[in-house]
């Protein structure tokens, strides 16, 4: 080893000495030399016509897609169409999957297990707990992702997305972020874990961290259904029934826009504080437009993005299902762990304009936002000992009509304030465990993973707290 060290240091010493002589523009000179070689060779081997003619189609398209007049309208239109197709298109397959997995397969499994005479707690843990959680995640998560990601990927393959980053860059620059964050943010509306993976396109370390940490403020598709349900029950009900739907939709959009606001706000704060020392560079290549290959894109994006993310979600949802079942079925003294937890969280929950059930649901449902509402319903019913609804202790459920759901929630003491704050908290809370795991995979840093996990939940506490107090002051309750 000594010999190796000696040899190495002999070389390194000479290098140091030569570096002093060459000066600090070595990199410049080297790159110039390489490009000079490249130019000489290219000169010898390449014949090309006037570039202006050959790329005229690309440039003409660029002029439209990045123009002051049409740039933004086209962008908003494209995004709106994608979201609309995703939400509308996912309804039917989601419903069908729910019927299949929850109404057909679940009773079937229960039958088999009771025929085999399996112990009730094995049956409960595996079928009521693990199976239900996994089934729920698949039913809610798979269809929108299977629609959203391929559409996004088609735009990506065509070459439109870099133009979006180009159009929006000045906006993001003001928040200390990179234009490409526009895309990782939109990707987050599909799934935050996928959004975090997508930040790989940002090649500047500081801006990439910003995009990773703030991705959670994009309302992911696991949270859209919660928003829509709660908005329908609590906000839609505030206005005449003719306007109910419109009001509810607008309130959900408001929450999503609030998420965009928080993305910019926290990007700006991060870039000015914790991350200001990280290296920052900017380059954005605008590749030529290429016709996407439709079927291949659909196939690969489902394999590449949807299934990988879905698999991660399932891996995390399965143990969560088990835990949800266990806390509802294991009693300490006379009370289940779930009810104990609910009563101990209730004080803090009420302070925030929420309640103990919601806080417990967000703790146990950390693997997937999809199972928050079913868990809340199950916990509420079991906490109040309502009979005739649901399928038993620790079995998550959802109801077919929102009015039935509303009845249960109102029985649980929910008010309009609870609804609004749940919507806010659903936007501002820690990322799901799939996303946290993905953040760690991408950053390999516990520090940034913790920041990304804790920052939003603190913001959630503060925002819901303030809204609750102001609400109570004004309403005088």
Partner 1 sequence: MSDQIASSCDDCAFHNIAQLKKLGVNVEDTDYVVTLAGNPNTGKSTVFNALTGLRQHTGNWPGKTVTRAEGGFSYNEKRFKLVDLPGTYSLLSTSQDEEIARNFILFGRPDVTIIVVDASRLERNLNLVLQVLEITNKAVLCLNLMDEARRHDIIVDERTLAKDLGIPVVPTSARSLEGIPQLIETIYKVASNEIVCKPHKIKNLAGPVNKAVEQLSSKISKIYPEMPNSRWIAMRLLDGDERVVTALQNNEFLIA
Partner 2 sequence: MTPDPGIALIVFFILVFVGVLLWKIIKSPFLLQNIKQSKKALVEDILKQLYHVEYSGRTASLNAMAGALKLSDRKIVRLVEDMSSHDLLKLDQDILQLTSSGRDYALKIIRVHRLWEKYLSERTGFDKSEWHDRAEQKEHTLTEEQAEQLYHDLGNPRFDPHGDPIPTEAGEIIETHWKSLSSLSENTVARIVHLEDEPEVIYQQIVAEKLHIGSQVKIIASDNHEVKFFSEGEEYRFSPIVASNISVKELTAQEKYEEDVVRLSSLDPGEKAIILGISSECRGASRRRLLDLGFIAGSSIETEFASPSKEPKAYSIRNTIIALRGDQADLILIKKVNE
Summarize as ranges the residues that interact with partner 2 (CB under 8 A): 16, 19-20, 23-24, 26-28, 31-32, 35, 51, 59, 62-63, 66-68, 71-72, 166-167, 169-171, 173, 179, 205-206, 275-287, 350-351, 465-466, 468-473, 477
From the list partner 2, partner 1, none, pick the one residue 49 interacts with, judged by a Cβ distance below 5 to 8 Å according to partner type: partner 1
Does residue 26 belong to the site contacting partner 1 (CB under 8 A)?
Answer: yes
Nearest to 442 by CA among 283, 147, 208: 208
169 three-class SS: helix
The contacts of residue 362 (CB under 8 Å, 6+ apart) are 372, 425, 429
Rounded to whole angstroms, how far apart are CA atoms 64 and 73?
Answer: 11
Question: Shortest distance, CB of residue 67 to partner 2, whole angstroms?
Answer: 7
Q: State which of residues 74, 97, 138, 161 lies at the interface with partner 1 (CB under 8 A).
A: 161
Does residue 60 belong to the site contacting partner 1 (CB under 8 A)?
Answer: no
Nearer of residues 103 and 203 to partner 1, judged by Cβ: 203
Question: Shortest distance, CB of residue 156 to partner 1, whole angstroms?
Answer: 5
Question: Shortest distance, CB of residue 99 to partner 1, whole angstroms?
Answer: 31
From the list partner 2, partner 1, none, pick the one residue 278 interacts with, judged by a Cβ distance below 5 to 8 Å according to partner type: partner 2
Sign of the torsion formed by the C-alpha atoms of 181, 184, 190 and 191: negative
Does residue 48 belong to the site contacting partner 1 (CB under 8 A)?
Answer: yes
From the list partner 2, partner 1, none, pick the one residue 5 interacts with, judged by a Cβ distance below 5 to 8 Å according to partner type: partner 1
| Stretch near partner 1 under the rule CB under 8 A, chosen from 33-41, 69-77, 169-177, 270-278 | 33-41
Nearest to 316 by CA among 327, 305, 304, 324: 324
From the list partner 1, partner 2, none, pick the one residue 280 interacts with, judged by a Cβ distance below 5 to 8 Å according to partner type: partner 2
Site string for partner 1, 203-232 (x = CB under 8 A): x-x---------------------------
275 three-class SS: coil
| Stretch near partner 1 under the rule CB under 8 A, chosen from 23-31, 233-241, 375-383, 404-412 | 23-31
Nearest to 313 by CA among 452, 442, 449, 438: 438
Question: Shortest distance, CB of residue 295 to partner 1, whole angstroms?
Answer: 11
From the list partner 2, partner 1, none, pick the one residue 282 interacts with, judged by a Cβ distance below 5 to 8 Å according to partner type: partner 2
DSSP assignment of 344-391 equals: HHHHHHHHTTS-HHHHHHHHHTTT-GGGHHHHHHHHHHHHHT--SSSS
334 three-class SS: coil
Q: 183-202: which residues touch partner 1 (CB under 8 A)?
A: 200-201
From the list partner 2, partner 1, none, pick the one residue 29 interacts with, judged by a Cβ distance below 5 to 8 Å according to partner type: partner 1
From the list partner 2, partner 1, none, pick the one residue 299 interacts with, judged by a Cβ distance below 5 to 8 Å according to partner type: partner 1
Question: Shortest distance, CB of residue 192 to partner 1, whole angstroms?
Answer: 18
Nearest to 235 by CA among 445, 376, 71, 421: 421
Q: 86-125: which residues touch partner 1 (CB under 8 A)?
A: none
Partners of 336 in the beta sheet? 331
From the list partner 1, partner 2, none, pick the one residue 469 interacts with, judged by a Cβ distance below 5 to 8 Å according to partner type: partner 2
Q: 303-322: which residues touch partner 1 (CB under 8 A)?
A: 303-305
Nearer of residues 34 and 76 to partner 1, judged by Cβ: 34
Query: Angle between the 308-329 and 372-384 helix axes, to the nearest 10 degrees?
Result: 10
Does residue 42 belong to the site contacting partner 1 (CB under 8 A)?
Answer: yes
Q: Which two tokens stand for residue 456?
A: 């939003």
How many CB atoms sit inside 10 A of residue 439's CB?
28
Nearer of residues 86 and 443 to partner 2, judged by Cβ: 443
DSSP assignment of 436-448 equals: HHHHHHHH--HHH
On whether the CB atoms of residues 209 and 275 are closer than 8 A, the answer is yes
Rounded to whole angstroms, how far apart are CA atoms 189 and 296?
Answer: 24
**Would you give the DSSP letter of residue 287?**
P
From the list partner 2, partner 1, none, pick the one residue 458 interacts with, judged by a Cβ distance below 5 to 8 Å according to partner type: none
Rounded to whole angstroms, how far apart are CA atoms 166 and 161?
Answer: 9
Q: State which of residues 14, 122, 454, 458 lies at the interface with partner 1 (CB under 8 A).
A: 14
Nearer of residues 117 and 476 to partner 2, judged by Cβ: 476
Q: Write down the residue that tokens 């006037």 correspond to.
A: 50
Q: Write down the residue that tokens 């993001």 correspond to.
A: 172
Does residue 38 belong to the site contacting partner 1 (CB under 8 A)?
Answer: yes
Q: 246-305: which residues touch partner 1 (CB under 8 A)?
A: 285, 287-288, 290, 292-293, 296, 299-301, 303-305
**Would you give the DSSP letter of residue 274?**
T
On whether the CB atoms of residues 317 and 367 are closer than 8 A, the answer is yes
Q: Write down the residue that tokens 């806390």 correspond to.
A: 327
Rounded to whole angstroms, how far apart are CA atoms 189 and 222?
Answer: 9
Binding site for partner 1 (CB under 8 A): 3-5, 7-12, 14-15, 18-19, 21-22, 26-27, 29-42, 44-49, 54-55, 153, 156-159, 161-162, 200-201, 203, 205, 285, 287-288, 290, 292-293, 296, 299-301, 303-305
């Amino acid at each position: 080893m000594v010999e190796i060290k000696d040899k190495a240091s002999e070389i390194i010493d000479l290098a140091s000495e030569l570096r002093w002589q060459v000066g600090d523009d070595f990199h410049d000179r080297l790159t110039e030399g390489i490009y000079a070689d490249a130019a000489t060779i290219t000169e010898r081997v390449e014949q090309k016509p006037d570039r202006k003619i050959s790329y005229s189609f690309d440039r003409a398209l660029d002029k439209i897609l990045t123009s002051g007049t049409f740039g933004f309208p086209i962008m908003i239109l494209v995004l709106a169409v994608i979201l609309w197709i995703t939400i509308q298109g996912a309804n039917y397959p989601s419903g069908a999957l729910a019927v299949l997995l929850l109404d057909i397969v679940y009773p079937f499994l229960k039958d088999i297990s009771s025929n085999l005479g399996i112990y009730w707690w094995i049956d409960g843990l595996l079928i009521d707990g693990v199976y239900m959680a996994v089934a729920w995640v698949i039913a809610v998560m798979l269809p929108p992702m299977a629609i959203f990601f391929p559409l996004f990927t088609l735009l990506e393959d065509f070459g439109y997305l870099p133009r979006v980053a180009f159009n929006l860059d000045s906006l993001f620059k003001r928040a200390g972020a990179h234009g490409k964050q526009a895309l990782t943010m939109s990707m987050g509306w599909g799934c935050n874990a996928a959004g975090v993976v997508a930040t790989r396109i940002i090649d500047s370390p500081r801006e990439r961290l910003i995009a990773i940490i703030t991705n959670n403020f994009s309302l992911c598709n696991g949270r859209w259904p919660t928003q829509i349900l709660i908005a329908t029950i609590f906000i839609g009900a505030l206005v005449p029934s003719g306007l109910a739907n419109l009001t509810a939709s607008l309130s959900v959009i408001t929450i999503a826009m609030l998420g965009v606001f928080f993305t910019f706000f926290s990007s700006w704060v991060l870039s000015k504080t914790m991350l200001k020392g990280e290296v920052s560079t900017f380059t954005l290549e605008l590749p030529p437009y290429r016709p996407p290959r439709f079927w291949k894109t659909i196939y690969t994006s489902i394999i590449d993005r949807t299934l990988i993310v879905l698999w991660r979600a399932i891996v995390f949802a399965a143990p969560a299902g088990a835990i949800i079942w266990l806390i509802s079925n294991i009693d300490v003294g006379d009370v289940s762990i779930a009810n104990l937890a609910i009563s101990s969280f209730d004080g803090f929950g009420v302070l925030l304009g929420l309640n103990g059930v919601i806080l417990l649901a967000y703790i146990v449902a950390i693997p997937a936002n999809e199972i928050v509402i079913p868990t809340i319903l199950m916990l509420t019913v079991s906490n109040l000992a309502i009979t005739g609804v649901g399928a038993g202790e620790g079995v998550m459920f959802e109801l077919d009509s929102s009015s039935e759901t509303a009845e249960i929630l109102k029985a649980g003491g929910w008010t309009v304030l609870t609804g609004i704050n749940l919507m806010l908290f659903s936007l501002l809370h820690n990322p799901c465990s799939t996303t946290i795991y993905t953040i760690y995979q991408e950053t390999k840093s516990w520090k940034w993973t913790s920041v990304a996990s804790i920052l939003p939940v603190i913001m959630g506490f503060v925002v819901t707290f303030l809204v609750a107090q102001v609400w109570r002051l004004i309403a005088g309750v």
